[in-house]
Amino acid sequence: MSDDDITPSQISAVNLQRAQRYIDSGQDNLLPILKYPRRVISVNFPIEMDDGSVEVFRGYRVLHNRTLGPGKGGIRFHPEVDLDEVSALAMLMTWKCALLEIPFGGAKGGVVCDPKSLSQGELRRITRRFISELGDDLGPYTDIPSPDLYTDEQTMAWVYDTYDVMHQGNNNRAVVTGKPLLLGGSPGRREATARGCVSVTEYFIHRGLIPALSELRGSRVAIQGFGNVGEVAAQLFSECGAIIVALSDSQGGIADGEGIDLTEASAFKKTTGTLVGLAHTETITNSDLLEIDCDVLIPAALGRQITADNAGSIKAKVIVEAANGPVTPAADRILAERGIWLLPDILVNAGGVTVSYFEWLQNLDNETWQLDEVNSRLHQRMRASAEATIARWQYLQCDLSGNEDAEYPLDLRTAALTLAVDRLAQITAQRGIWP
């Protein structure tokens, strides 16, 4: 069966249903609240391009839920941004914050554009105009953006500056996270998502839960995507003694069974704009990378990369979802049947939002924490959430043995989602439905 056509929001709906099966029936009537985004904003705005022409761009900001606190979520710039995907990603942020016990709700935004074909000046104008269109629907206590696909510290600096110009006289630093350090960014934020991935992967290995993988040292790792998350993940996994056997970016991949030299890979990517063609490596496609012989496979680029079409050919022992939504529900089923472990996105890549939360706390206090403190707090939270997910998974297996969902496996994704949805349903019940 092919599930190539499944949309991101259909995936979210299926996954929510999977969790729903294991939620206390007393909370059942609250689940419809979590099914739909609370607020959806769509804007169209003109931008004067470098050549004097005028183009109209479309942007979205979706606030899925704010039961736990203000909305939190990235802004992505990509030609394939659409409302369906942004809504699904906003929902994912709600689960992530609830799982990690971070007092934020879920949000996401994006602008439909091809950042590779735009100049810095055009990107700056798009960012400023998009943020001004969103107006007071963003704010330190309302909805707080951060970086995502093809946006970075520079983009976040423009977000901050635009909001600050609109709200002069206040301490506005907490309106956006992932800023440059000099502008109130947190030490360790750039590396946080990848650091969280390593922390969670190590924890599952340490707990003896990944069959045939007793330590990261010596393990063979393949990573799809060489951006903020993928490049840093390669460095950090390598520092733990793992061998990076394959890497890729939007233009293709490279492989070397003996291990890719990361210093050379980063320098080559910086000068040529791609990894493809790095000396002493074999050129492969992005599909080859996913099916390569390795122990740990880390999708760190786009969604829906592992589907019913290629899940049967994956050779990794464990998939670590650094990207958001890289594996479809049909692929989850095939991977589970084949005994391949999957560490789910809402746990694995939550290091980014965790340190974003730390950045927000530092900004409200006008303080800067030491890097060691940030990393140690991050590590603690990631491991506590990994342990809570394992405990929930084990509990569900004992409690419901013989009564599992026949269609989908009772996997770690379901356990993590159940934990997050349960927490949200309980808090919603405590707050009550307004008015």
Kindly state the smallest distance separating residue 224's Cβ from ligand NAD, in Å.
5
Residue 143 CB neighbour total at 10 angstroms: 25
Size of the residue set binding ligand NAD (CB under 6 A): 24
- The reply to whether 224 sits near ligand NAD by the rule CB under 6 A is yes
Q: Which residues 270-289 are close enough to bind ligand NAD by CB under 6 A?
A: 286
Cross-sheet strand order for the sheet of 39-48: 39-48, 54-65, 105-112, 71-78, 143-147
End-to-end CA distance of the chain: 46
Could you list the beta-strand ranges (E) of 322-412. 341-343
Relative to beta strand 54-65, strand 105-112 is antiparallel
Q: Does residue 301 belong to the site contacting ligand NAD (CB under 6 A)? A: yes
Kindly state whether residue 292 participates in binding ligand NAD, applying the rule CB under 6 A: no
Counting contacts by CB under 6 A, is residue 223 touching ligand NAD?
no
Contact 155, 161 (CB under 8 A): no
Binding segment (CB under 6 A) for ligand NAD, from list 60-68, 209-217, 299-307, 367-375: 299-307
Q: For the chain, how are helix, strand and coil distributed in percent, rounded to 5?
A: 50, 15, 35
- Tell the smallest beta-carbon distance from residue 322 to ligand NAD (Å): 6
Q: Segment contacting ligand NAD (CB under 6 A): 32-40, 133-141, 322-330, 365-373?
A: 322-330
Q: Is 90 in the site for ligand NAD (CB under 6 A)?
A: no
CB of 305 to ligand NAD, least distance (A): 7
Rounded to 5 degrees, what angle do the CA atoms 215, 220, 225 make?
A: 120
Q: How far is the CB of 298 from ligand NAD (least distance, A)?
A: 10
Annotation says 108 is catalytic: yes
Instruction: Enter the tokens of residue 406.
Output: 């026949």
Residue 363 interacts with ligand NAD (CB under 6 A)? no
Residue range at the interface with ligand NAD (CB under 6 A); choices 56-64, 98-106, 144-152, 165-173:
144-152
Asked whether the beta carbons of 107 and 88 are under 8 A apart, the reply is no
Burial of 132 (0-12, 13-18, 19+ CB in 10 A): middle
Residue nearest to ligand NAD (CB): 227
Contact between 323 and ligand NAD by CB under 6 A: the answer reads yes
Residue 345 CB, nearest approach to ligand NAD (Å): 7
The one catalytic residue in 96, 108, 179, 269 is 108
Q: Angle between the 83-100 and 8-20 helix axes, to the nearest 10 degrees?
A: 40
Tell me phi and psi for residue 23, to 5 degrees.
Answer: -90, 145
CA proximity to 286, closest of 295, 278, 275: 275
Out of 85, 122, 143, 148, point to the residue binding ligand NAD (CB under 6 A).
148
Which DSSP string do the residues of 369-384 spell out, in sequence order? --HHHHHHHHHHHHHH
Count of positions (residues) in the chain? 435
228 is a site residue for ligand NAD (CB under 6 A): yes
Q: Are 131 and 162 in contact (CB under 8 A)?
A: yes
Q: Under the criterion CB under 6 A, does residue 12 sit at the interface with ligand NAD?
A: no
Using the contact rule CB under 6 A, the part of the chain among 61-69, 133-141, 227-235, 425-433 near ligand NAD is 227-235
Please state the closest distance from residue 228 (CB atom) to ligand NAD, in A: 4
Stretch that binds ligand NAD, among 168-176, 205-213, 319-327, 397-405 (CB under 6 A): 319-327
354 touching ligand NAD, by CB under 6 A: no
In this structure, are strands 282-284 and 252-255 parallel, antiparallel, or unpaired? antiparallel
Nearer to ligand NAD, 355 or 396 (CB): 355
User: Hey, which bits of 49-141 come out as E strands?
Assistant: 54-65, 71-78, 105-112
Q: Which of residues 232-251 bind ligand NAD (CB under 6 A)?
A: 248-250
- Contact between 225 and ligand NAD per CB under 6 A: yes
Residue of 227, 266, 309, 377 interacting with ligand NAD (CB under 6 A): 227
Comparing CB distances to ligand NAD, the nearer of 97 and 410 is: 97
Cα dihedral sign, 215-221-223-228: positive
Backbone angles phi, psi at 158, to 5 degrees: -70, -35
Q: Which residues here bind ligand NAD, judged by CB under 6 A?
A: 147-150, 193, 224-230, 248-250, 286, 300-302, 322-324, 349, 352
Catalytic positions? 108
